[in-house]
Homo-oligomer: A and B are copies of this chain.
Amino acid sequence: MAEQGRGQSSAPDRLRAGVPDATVARLPGYLRALRALDDVGRTTVSSEALATATGVGSAQLRKDLSHLGSYGTRGVGYEVAELAFHISRALGLGRRWPVVLVGVGNLGHALAGYGGFDERGFSIAALFDVDTTRIGERVGKQLVRHLDDLDDVIGVFGVCIGVIATPAPAAQEVCDRLVAAGVTSILNFAPTLLRVPPQVTVRKVDLSNELQILCFHEHRKGLALVDPLPVTSLLDEPLSGEVSA
């Protein structure tokens, strides 16, 4: 399957289909860096510069971008605005995406108020909860609806992205209702594995998972300082002696 968009610029179809997951996960980072460069007035940027700005290797950056197409100029670099546009388009950010947020507790409040969403092209279309004492409450510009009204809202806004910020026990039930209403992309903040049909994409963000992973590394550092010897570390106090720095 050689012969891709030679000379002619756009061949987005096959290219976009084959973008590796790992690359997709880095694209938003590139986009952010490009926006920052644009704000500062830079018009072009080399792979080396953009790579260090985003914390990846320059080779990886180039390979990532090559999956989207050939939008650089050899000897010069990438044009900031143009590259930003193409990444944006690959990510599907050409439009504004409505987001429905379910669960207006501690975290839900924070998410609803998070400015970063709006400025990146996401609009909170509606807030939902099942707790009847919360229905009608105002959070930001939105007012909290009952989850039963989900279909109405989705009927108005069309395809939406769902965000689940409920306690764990409610998550699966909420998820099912989102899916039933036609939502096919879900961001899950509840610490539960969601069962969904195959066409639905779920991403999970688990705060205490992250802390535990950090813990592992922290713990390992501690061991490295204290015990070159295996046996003693099991008996000694792990963090008592700060030997060498």
B-binding residues in A (CB < 8 A): 4-6, 9-14, 16-17, 19, 24-25, 27-29, 31-32, 53-55, 89-95, 97, 99, 106-107, 109-111, 113-114, 116-117, 120, 122, 158-159, 161, 184-187, 191, 193, 199, 201, 203, 205-223, 227, 230-231, 233-234, 238-240, 242-243
Contact = CB atoms under 8 A, between A and B. Distances in A.
Q: How many copies of this chain does the complex contain?
A: 2
Nearest to A108: B110
Nearest to A13: B230
A95 B11 CA distance: 54
Contact of A207 (B14, B90, B205, B215): B205
B9 A230 contact: yes
Task: Describe A's contact surface by its main secondary structure.
Answer: helix
A221 B211 CA distance: 33
A11 B78 CA distance: 51
Contact of A218 (B24, B159, B206, B207): B159
A175 to B, nearest CB: 13
User: Which 10 pairs show the lowest CB-CB distances between chains A and B?
Assistant: A92-B219, A110-B110, A13-B230, A28-B212, A185-B214, A9-B231, A201-B217, A28-B209, A185-B218, A120-B208
A116 B54 contact: no
A12 B231 CA distance: 10
